[in-house]
Chain A
Amino acid sequence: MDFTFTEEQVRFKESVVKFSLRELNDGVTERDKKGEFFREGWRKCADFGILGLPVPKEYGGLEADIVTCAVLMQGLGYACRDSGLLFVMGSHIWTCEIPILHFGTKEQKEKFLPRLCKGEIIGGHAITEPDSGSDAFGLKTTAVKDGDRYILNGSKMFISNAPIADILLIFARTDKTKGFGGISAFIVEKGFPGFSVGKPLEKMGLKTAPIGEVILQDCPVPVENRLGKEGMASAIFNSEMDWERCCLFATQLGVMEYQVETCVKYAKERPQFGKPIGKYQSISHKIADMKMRIELGSLILYKVAWMKAQGKKAPIESAIAKVYVSESYVKSSLDAIQIHGGYGYMTEFGLEKDLRDSIAGKIYSGTSEIQRNIIASWLGL
């Protein structure tokens, strides 16, 4: 088996890393304190082409395949210290662009994809509600057909990008009799009457990635803004989740690579009791574990990417990758702080931010608990 990336993927990743180191890291600590989205960084990423990674060139994208996307996201995770910015980009690309690309009409693709690729509009998706998180398809938001439009009513919670989004893919129930099969997806644009977003929610980490509540009150959405057929939400959601679990979590692998480098450097330079702390097994074994997590996480994540690139379905592999990478990120973030001792606890070093940012990874894209349910279910349990 050949696990090497192509020369083109390696070169592209190197250029993304150089770009990120040069353009995306100034002022991260301040922005994190203030909970401020890095708009200038967003524009720079748009100019570089990152926002259109998987989108065909005819719509202004770079037409990268899923493996290449994961490689580049890993590079971004390694080099960009603003995980919130990467999270905003991830929601924009994997949860909004990808569904429109795969399920949109020609008109929808032409209307939204070029502007999404240029970063002129920011996208996201809204499925979670105050009473339905893990039970995503237990949602209550309704969409009632009324002539050439649907009237949407309901509320969504913890919606990534909501405070800054120009469009959101909103999941709403069009048929109460069919369970998950009665849910449809709609492209709702900021400015539609009856659509409003609450103020950004304060949270533990990913502070530069705004999230908020969305309220829909008799919000009219034209039929031409429905994405796919009625009842297609489950197909759209599952398809998007595989991309999200590969590419969003590839950034976490990148952060873990950065953490290992940082810890190795510190462990070699920091002396205690007459020798570098890296010479003590209690430290070196932690770093060895961090390295193992990257390698094992990469194996499963890129297996999922490869399967998707082959046109195969990867439900169990995708669940395993999500659990393993997200939980590894938390463990490695804790280890990185511990290795650095008091310095690791200080804001200035940036390591405590990684820990705060990492916790959400066990929750979004399907909680660790739900992923374990999925894996167990596939095993017949």
Chain B
Amino acid sequence: MQTVETLKRFIIGEIATELDLKDIAADQSLLETGILDSLGILKLVTFIEAQFLLKIDDEEMIPENFETLSGISKMISAKKASS
């Protein structure tokens, strides 16, 4: 839950600034709605690596890992568990 909130604040405040979003639902598609574009994903990955002390490989930067806040949170949890 906290991870989702952290991600949401970053996306709203630093990535999707022009969309003037108030909230993003945990299972809302970030790609279909255009909240995340290709540059946005790069910024998000850099943030996640610094914030959660993880490394996300190029091969992991695929749509299915970044479709929703829940999906990204799940990926982060899985990586933390395996590290």
**A315 touching B42, Cβ below 8 Å:** yes
Counting contact residues on chain B (CB < 8 A from A), the size range is 20 to 34
Complex CA–CA separation, A309 to B63 (angstroms): 25
Q: Is A232 in the interface zone, CB < 8 Å from B?
A: yes
**A178 touching B42, Cβ below 8 Å:** no
Assuming the A-B contacts A137-B38, A179-B34, are A380 and B14 also in contact, with contact meaning beta carbons closer than 8 angstroms in the complex? yes
**A315 touching B46, Cβ below 8 Å:** yes
Q: Which residues 91-123 of A sit at the B interface, judged by CB distance below 8 A? A: 102-103
Assuming the A-B contacts A178-B31, A179-B34, A311-B55, are A235 and B43 also in contact, with contact meaning beta carbons closer than 8 angstroms in the complex? no
**B42 touching A180, Cβ below 8 Å:** no
**B49 touching A179, Cβ below 8 Å:** no
Taking a contact as CB atoms closer than 8 A, the residue among B17, B29, B46, B59 that contacts A313 in the complex is: B46
Complex CA–CA separation, A103 to B43 (angstroms): 22
Q: Which residues 228-244 of A sit at the B interface, judged by CB distance below 8 A? A: 228-229, 231-232, 234-239
**A239 touching B32, Cβ below 8 Å:** no
Task: Determine how close the nearest CB of chain B comes to the CB of A275; give it in whole angstroms.
Answer: 53
Task: With a 10 A CB-CB cut-off, give which of A137, A178, A235, A315 has the most chain B CB atoms.
Answer: A235
Q: Would you give the 0/1 interface string for A313-348, flagging 1 where the beta carbon is closer than 8 Å to chain B?
A: 101000000000000000000000000000000000
Which residues from chain A sit less than 8 Å from chain B, CB to CB?
102-103, 137, 177-182, 228-229, 231-232, 234-239, 311, 313, 315, 374, 377-378, 380
Which residues from chain B sit less than 8 Å from chain A, CB to CB?
14, 17, 29, 31-32, 34, 37-39, 41-43, 45-46, 49, 55, 58-64, 66-67
- CB<8 Å pairs between A and B, sample of 29: A103-B58, A137-B37, A137-B38, A178-B29, A178-B63, A179-B32, A180-B31, A180-B37, A182-B31, A228-B59, A231-B64, A232-B59, A232-B62, A232-B63, A234-B61, A235-B59, A235-B61, A236-B58, A238-B42, A238-B58, A239-B58, A311-B55, A313-B45, A313-B46, A313-B49, A315-B42, A374-B39, A380-B14, A380-B17
